[in-house]
Structure 1
């Protein structure tokens, strides 16, 4: 018999959990809209060819594909080793590829610089484990049409403001640029063809350390002189991480990295400092070894950090080449994604500003008209109301209601004066 559990890696949410998630989303939406971003919606499915066009990185391997309609058994057997011949659609594995398609489709109706919010579920055929799901919500903002440092700065400021509004003040953003990484590897003598693989190894630096990275580079057969020079660089003491200026960035890089790229990073820092003067120091940290695995990034990349956790709470980067795949003309684009599921797990259940929620406990003999009139009276005060017939164990019922997010109750008996009903706190 079929199980009653949801599919592995997917979850049901009880009312209290759903309410909590919606409160977090409401805060994020409010902050993003305050920064001039407009919300859009795209279909949960995209064409197979679009999802597997080589722009989604390793996520393409995790896509859920949808079997094309009308295939007979013989056709399926003949094409068993060719997914492209069997499927025509797939569930989206992120929101960036759909956004690129959306912009290419609706460009004429959008402003020259378009600021988008996308908050929606995505699906990946992950191996389920703690904190890793097959269906999860992504919470993205993107700016399309602005190639300047202003776009990155706007994204960073809006995301830090959202974090502050959620009660997680003090967030910082690790910043790098894919062009910095490429220039650094070129300066050490790594060939262009081997750099993508080397970046995969460098991305493991936090987990395996310098020794592990160097050992893996040698196992890859990378040029020995390049590896030796890179190892010496990795072992140099890092300058003060509190600074974020041209001198600080140059001190953390070998000679030969583009001055234009460094100026772009400095411009982001200056803009963020101007937007958040109360924060004091620029809430940015230059990390020359930040990689981020998505192959479509072409410039600035960043990750959101907070002192309360060791993992990132979001990230993103510039992907100037993606929209051109659909439009035929390159359009600058950069995005930032908050780790919504991680934020929900991290945040408490504070209900500040939540709509009042009242349990209306009534006797069995209260006439239906009186009951609904009483409910309408309480609803008119701006509260959310749940009807509960008085059970034998009222205390247990109220405890369950409190767990569901209800904050007060009203007791109603037949003939009571509806106008005199006064909610009482569940904490009393």
Structure 2
């Protein structure tokens, strides 16, 4: 968990303002949920490993004997917890407020979440998430809207050239079944497959054998990974998708993925002022994209940019989650930008900023004169900070410049209002 100095905070807010603006122009509306949710909701078995990282809150009024008596039962000790993502709170929000929401609801959530992570570069215990979600739409339109809005936001932040890796959990399940992996093996097999881009084919196959996965299934999977393939370029579309899958891939899933590509191409054509072919859309089918959240039921995706070798966000379809709270299934899909990773790549000038003046005054200037001069500058549209003159004026002005101030003036006792000389800060 971190502190942010004024300049850092101002830069973060400028980036957040762009993200909010782009999400809103795409028809999403911002909501807010509490930072805590019920323990049972956060530990319902749908958050994957993140459930293990949740900060839980002890029940109020427990005495020492009660704590000792329930030491081995978290559910007896705690009734609330800090949210570890924004999707579980959103599902509860939708189930609670559905009667006041449109049939297809497009939400924005921009807020901090908490996980008991082992801190390291780019991984914090408190961090900001920027989510957009669509509930009530099972069609490919929902995924397409999320992808177009996310890529548009990336462009607006000056990070053109982003792309989205896309897959479907139903394809993964079908492939594992086709290779012969049992349903009981699938969770551990997916964990290993997720390492494919890090350890390669040989590393994944070796780990599967070490884990004791069914030998015939591992053999079939290895044969598929090492099969000869022609290297000609295939744009995103049905041919590319089927090329990277075993024969007889489910038509319904393939058609859904193709429809997403066609809709994204149509939107990018209009935005770019010309025709965008499927070959040119920033979508890449990746049959071994896994994503670890246990609540994904269909399409999954990750946001990539050529400037970095890690993802800048991701998401997917979680059609089964809201039904746990509502008692009735509602289709839902979301996309989250990894703000903490993204913000370090973005530089946005504060073009709408007021003139920011540091008013450096002598020690003997009366408070009434100081406040009168400050009020006059504010009335003229400036932002003003009062600073008493120090021996090292250069250091004082350098600190002010680092905080975003652009000019300064000096003030001695008895100066008449309106006579200050405003000078630029180098």
TM-score (norm 1): 0.93
The alignment status of 1:202 with 2:201, answered yes or no, reads: no
- 2:62 corresponds in structure 1 to 71
- 1:297 corresponds in structure 2 to 296
Residues 5-404 of structure 1: matches in 2 within 5 Å?
10-236=1-227, 237=229, 243-277=235-269, 278=272, 280=276, 281-348=280-347, 350-404=349-403
Aligned residue for 1:101, secondary structure, equals: helix
CA 1:235–1:382 in structure 2 vs 1: closer, same or farther (change >3 Å)? farther
- 2:408 corresponds in structure 1 to 409
**How far off is 1:422 after superposition?**
5.4
| Residues 323-355 of structure 1 deviation map (CA, whole Å, 9 limit, x = unaligned) | 000000000111111010001222246444444
**How far off is 1:417 after superposition?**
4.6
| Cα distance in 2 between the residues matched to 1:350 and 1:329 | 47
**Contact 2:157 2:348 (8 Å CA) reproduced:** no
- 1:5 corresponds in structure 2 to none
**How far off is 1:198 after superposition?**
1.1
**How far off is 1:220 after superposition?**
2.3
| Cα distance in 2 between the residues matched to 1:211 and 1:354 | 55
| Cα distance in 2 between the residues matched to 1:251 and 1:421 | 72
Unaligned runs of 5+ in 2: none
- 1:7 corresponds in structure 2 to none
**How far off is 1:102 after superposition?**
0.5
- 1:4 corresponds in structure 2 to none
Aligned residue for 1:334, secondary structure, equals: strand
CA 1:357–1:235 in structure 2 vs 1: closer, same or farther (change >3 Å)? farther
CA-atom RMSD in angstroms: 1.8
Unaligned runs of 5+ in 1: 1-9
**Contact 1:178 1:301 (8 Å CA) reproduced:** yes
**How far off is 1:384 after superposition?**
2.3
Aligned residue for 2:127, secondary structure, equals: strand
| Residues 41-88 of structure 1 deviation map (CA, whole Å, 9 limit, x = unaligned) | 111111111111111111101111111111122221111111111111
| Cα distance in 2 between the residues matched to 1:85 and 1:418 | 67
| Cα distance in 2 between the residues matched to 1:49 and 1:344 | 33
Aligned residue for 1:312, secondary structure, equals: coil
TM-score (norm 2): 0.94
**Contact 2:14 2:348 (8 Å CA) reproduced:** no
CA 1:87–1:239 in structure 2 vs 1: closer, same or farther (change >3 Å)? farther
**How far off is 1:415 after superposition?**
4.2
Moved more, 361-370 or 107-116: 361-370
**How far off is 1:29 after superposition?**
0.8
| Cα distance in 1 between the residues matched to 2:74 and 2:384 | 51
- 1:6 corresponds in structure 2 to none
| Cα distance in 2 between the residues matched to 1:171 and 1:241 | 19
